[in-house]
Structure 1
Amino acid sequence: MDLIDTLVIGAGQSGLATAHALRKHGIAPVILEAGDAPTGAWPRYYESLTLFSPARYSALPGLPFPGDGDRYPHRDEVVDYLTSCADQLDADIRTGHHVTGVEHQDGIFTVHLADGRTLHARTVVAATGGFTNPYRPALPGLDSFSGTVLHAAEYLRPEPFTGQRVVVVGGGNSAVQIATELAQHARVTVTTRGKLRFAPQRPLGRDLHFWYTVTGLDAAPVGRFLTHPPTVPVLDTGRYRAAVAAGRPDHRPMFTALDGDRIRWSDGTSEQADAVILATGYRPALDYLTALDVLDEHGHPPHRDGLATGLSGLGFVGLEWQRSLSSASLRGVGRDAARITRRLSSYLGSQAAFGRH
């Protein structure tokens, strides 16, 4: 049986950062990617997506983001950047390898692929993010709504909604970015359960991520103390607040129900709607770990700084708030990858010292 020291599932930003950290520890990982390129979900995000962090704060370890460090890169620039990272990474990246399940017995992980093959490893790192597991809240009438319902993960461009009545559910960066873009083509409302909150993107003339870095807040280990991820305000230079103030899009409290093709608002009014877009975030895409019994009832993995609490040799990179506010971002995955890699390297060393496998 061929035995891999560390197998990384996912070759997006989290998997590439993990592979870089493993190579620094002298470990030759195998990285499995379900897609056809080591770029994670980035090619499938909506076309106009722009990072809310400047290029200088949007890089993986070992390779700065090219070009002007103060600009805000677009989606396709990130795709090109990740492709460059993979090209320069001395690692065995295998695309078209969709993992369907993982089992563990006698200190060995058995990884099952969609084509029926299996691989065996001493340690495994789950770095698959959440794009394939979009969160769809149980909103009243959503399942029977006769208009179009799609998650932000399925949204690409505004033109198909031209002239329509569209409601965007959610108050985060993506929700407001999508709603503002759509408002140039359609009549759009962004709706939230609470207030729509904005934070200045460039306080005192410097990008917010500069202040996160110099204060240490970006890497502060606050994740372990959170029972629920906090609501993050929309980062704004003033553009989005002005658009909402002008009613393009407008903002309303969450609707009370969907009924046929109509939407019922909390003030008692109702109107016809053509489409509802759920910009409601994601959950960890870790169904392939179900057989390991390491997920809670919500599909989240109990862990300590990225290492599974119930199973030695299993790690995670790229979970939202895994350790810090930047854990699921381009700039943060490298820190988390380095941390779990040190521990996994020690674990592999102890296995070898005891002559196991």
Structure 2
Amino acid sequence: MSNRRTQVVVIGGGQAGLAAGYHLRRLAIDFVILDAQTEPGGAWQHAWDSLRLFSPANYSSLPGRLMPRQAGEEYPDAAHVVEYLRDYERRYELPIQRPVRVLGVHREGGMLRVETDSGAWHARAVISATGTWWRPFLPAVPGRRDFGGRQLHTVEYRSPLAFAGRRVIVVGGGNSGAQIAADLTLDGHVDVTWVAQRPPRYLPDDIDGRALFDVATARRRALDAGRSDTGGVASLGDIVAVPPVRAARDAGRLQARPMFSQLTVGGVRWADGSEAGAEAIFWCTGFRPALSHLAPLNLRGPRGHIPTDGTRALGEPRLHLLGYGDWTGPASATLIGVGRTAREAAREVTGLLS
């Protein structure tokens, strides 16, 4: 097994890893990006067929390269994003090795040892940019093991075709739940029941990712300055009314029921005793940070997060976490938002190396 050295190892070749690579390249840092995927595109290559960005292309760009507009579409689809990311890593000649799965990051003297399925790397700093897609969250619901149908998470949805003529329950009052419920119900061949913990809260129809990025940034600045919490995006609502969601909602097809109390062999049961049959349940219930490769460093804090100052891990200054959500930078889990925190992380790493 090989044993290689570099100044920085970036773990993850999706949008956050590419943004980090862009800024490390500009700072003339020696680095490598290790990506577990076989092809470029990060999690976007696994998204469902009808998924659209919340923002127009020019508001969905990584640093240095505007995303070109997709012909005939105001909001690009996932396939367009994948091609953009493929072009991005080629344009900037980013040193990506794939498929390489990182098994663990360990302290070893003054270095960090990154163990992979193709050997070890020794680096003076590590940027973890693995995101959350690879760690879907399923809630503990009574009867979940009793249900006789299919149980799937957001990550497994592709299109309505496989569910024609079936009774499907979609669980989750956020964007993925609303979009998948809309996709299934607009198809017209699927019997869909949408359930959520609380009544859906739609953002105003004229708000998209452009405004959301500004709101998230304003919240982070307020918190950093010691001012009161503005509530950020959550204060506006939970669901961006992208065109398919708006169409299903306005047609009266997106009527969310309250969360059921338990699963049964053939479906679900509500608190009042009423039941509904189902052949499949989609859990659109979110994700957790994919951080198992960092377990040897023993840095986990409350809720599974690693405490950070910006992107830098408080318990290991040679480690930066990028793109996991607001706790590692405002809107850092978005295409447009990750560039700013990637630049800050690269600058801090440069300071550490010097």
Q: Does TM-score exceed 0.5, indicating one fold?
A: yes
**CA separation of 1:125/1:99 partners in 2, compared to 1, >3 Å: closer, same or farther?**
same
Which residue in 2 is equivalent to 1:198? 202
Q: 2: distance between equivalents of 1:342 and 1:38?
A: 25
Runs of 5+ unmatched residues, structure 2: none
Query: 1:16 is matched with which residue?
Result: 18
* 1:91 partner letter: L
RMSD of aligned Cα (Å): 2.3
What stretches of structure 1 of length at least 5 have no aligned partner?
A: 350-357
Range 331-340 or range 231-240, more displaced: 231-240
CA deviation after TM superposition for structure 1 residue 11, in Å: 0.5
Relative to structure 1, is the Cα distance of residues 293 and 169 closer, same or farther in structure 2, using a 3 angstrom cutoff? same
Pair 1:89-2:92 in alignment = yes
2:282 to 277, 284, 287: 277
2:75 paired with 1:77: no
What SS is found at the alignment partner of 1:80? helix
Corresponding residue of 1:105: 108
Q: Is 1:182 the counterpart of 2:187 in the alignment?
A: no
Contact 1:45 1:155 in 2 (8 A): yes
d(CA) in 2 for partners of 1:323, 1:30: 21
Asked whether the 8 Å contact 1:287–1:299 carries over to 2, the reply is no
Check 1:82–1:188 CA distance in 2 against 1; reply closer, same or farther (3 A cut). same
- Pairwise mapping of residues 108-119 of structure 1 onto structure 2 (< 5 A)? 108-115=111-118, 117-119=119-121
Conserved in 2, the CA contact under 8 Å of 1:168 and 1:276? yes
Q: Report the Cα offset of residue 15 of structure 1.
A: 0.2
Pairwise CA distance, 1:296: 2.7
String of CA shifts for 1:25-54, please: whole Å, max 9, x gaps: 111210000111231111111111111111
What's the secondary structure of 2:316's corresponding residue?
Answer: coil
Q: TM-score, normalised to structure 1's length?
A: 0.89
Q: For residues 16 and 319 of structure 1, what CA distance do their matches in structure 2 show? A: 14
Q: 8 Å contact 1:229–1:321 — kept in the other structure?
A: no
Matched, 1:310 2:310: no
CA contact (8 A) 1:220 1:324 kept: no
Residue 255 (structure 1) shift: 0.3
Matches within 5 A, 1:206-225: 207-212=207-212, 216-220=214-218, 222=220
Percentage of matched positions with identical amino acids: 37
Partner residue in 2 for 1:250 = 255
TM-score (norm 2): 0.90
Q: Which residue of 1 aligns with 2:239?
A: 234
Aligned position for 1:162: 164
What SS does the corresponding residue of 1:222 show, helix, strand or coil? helix
In structure 2, give the amino acid aligned to 1:129.
G
Which amino acid letter does the alignment assign opposite residue 280 of structure 1? Answer: T
Q: Is the 8 A contact 2:4 2:120 kept in 1?
A: no
Pair 1:217–1:299, CA change in 2 (3 A): same
